[in-house]
């Protein structure tokens, strides 16, 4: 959406994020709630521009994104939020978390809110947790790379590590899966599978072991659907490694696994920088 010249504005970019496995850790205080697990920050992400006004747009369409509304409210600003992304919506790419974090970063710059990076990450993380749309995307998107979430929560409580690798990433999407529905149900089996997957990765921290842990997690947590399972099996038959994105009917692979299996995937790289301000006029 085009904005009039001469108004304060700022733009942030936040990478998309695929969670490969996780365990849920709810808490009464949203800043302490979150997840443990690991994932991939993508060079395909969400670009968010904030100007004075009201309303939220995603790819040119007026939308309601609860975490974005909460971020704007917590920062105490009257903001128009314009988000653009090539990523599929509701398919396990952390778009709502990216929009929330991008809004926090850009609004802080446009309106001189005077917050630190960690404060902005925490505002966005809490907004995402409260909305039930994610538990760990925001902190992972703020870090970038291949983040490993060791302790749940926002920056004041959580802790992260990562894999020092930057592989090519391919993905195909077969449709949406409601994160809110999954997280609001019984997560005991899922969390147990996530803890096992994390132990496996920390024992051998490599991209190959990460992909194996992701594949094992999806099977143990009983989240695989027919089309997703078929794509993962096809990649493995072609000699590659693939897994399911959490939470969405999306299959991702490192290297050329999906291409080799006959799919026509979207292709991107790992984004090492994490969420960041890219432009500001104030």
| 36-87 tens-digit pLDDT | 999 999 999 999 999 999 999 999 999 999 999 999 999 999 999 999 999 9
Mean pLDDT of the chain: 93
Res. 178: pLDDT tops 90? no
- DSSP H/E element including 46: strand 34-52
What pLDDT score was predicted for residue 150?
A: 98
The tokens 């195909």 sit on which residue? 172
Interior angle at CA 136, CA 163 and CA 61, nearest 5: 115
Prediction pTM value: 0.94
Whether the pLDDT of residue 124 is over 70: the answer is: yes
- Confidence tier at 7 by pLDDT (50, 70, 90): confident
Query: What is the percent of the chain with per-residue pLDDT over 70, rounded to a whole number?
Result: 94
Nearest partner of 127 among 20, 54, 34, judged by Cα: 34
> CB of 8 within 8 A of CB of 49?
no
Question: Using CA atoms, how far apart are residues 277 and 183, in angstroms rounded to an integer?
Answer: 30
Greatest CA span in the chain, whole angstroms? 57
Q: Does domain 8-277 have CATH number 2.30.40.10?
A: no
Q: Where are the domains of the chain?
A: 8-277
What is the model's pLDDT at position 5?
A: 52
Query: Using 50, 70 and 90 to split pLDDT, how confident is the model at 157?
Result: very high
Instruction: Kindly provide the residue ranges of all beta strands, DSSP E only, lying in 102-166, ordered along the sequence.
Output: 146-151, 159-163
């Amino acid at each position: 959406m085009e904005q009039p010249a001469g108004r304060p504005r700022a733009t942030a970019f936040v990478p998309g994020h695929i969670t490969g496995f996780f365990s849920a850790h709810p808490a009464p205080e949203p800043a302490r709630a979150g997840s443990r697990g690991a994932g991939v920050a993508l060079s395909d992400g969400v670009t968010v521009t904030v100007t004075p006004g009201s309303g939220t747009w995603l790819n040119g369409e007026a939308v309601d994104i609860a975490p974005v509304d909460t971020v704007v409210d917590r920062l105490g600003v009257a903001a128009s939020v314009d988000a653009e992304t090539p990523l599929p919506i509701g398919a396990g790419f952390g778009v709502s978390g990216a929009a929330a974090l991008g809004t926090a970063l850009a609004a802080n710059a446009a309106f001189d809110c005077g917050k630190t990076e960690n404060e902005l990450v925490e505002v966005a993380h809490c907004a995402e947790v409260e909305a039930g749309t994610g538990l760990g995307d925001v902190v992972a998107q703020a870090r970038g790379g291949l983040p490993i979430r060791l302790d749940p929560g926002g920056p004041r409580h959580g802790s992260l590590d990562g894999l020092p690798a930057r592989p090519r990433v391919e993905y195909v999407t077969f449709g949406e899966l409601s994160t809110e529905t999954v997280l609001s149900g019984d997560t005991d089996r899922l969390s147990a599978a996530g803890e096992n997957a994390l132990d496996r990765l920390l024992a051998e921290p490599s991209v190959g072991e990460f992909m194996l842990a992701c594949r094992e997690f999806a099977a143990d947590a009983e989240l695989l659907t027919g089309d997703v399972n078929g794509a993962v099996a096809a990649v493995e038959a072609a000699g590659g490694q693939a897994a399911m994105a959490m939470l969405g009917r999306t299959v991702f692979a490192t290297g050329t696994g999906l291409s080799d299996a006959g799919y026509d995937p979207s292709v991107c790289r790992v984004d090492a920088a994490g969420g960041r301000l890219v432009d500001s006029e104030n």
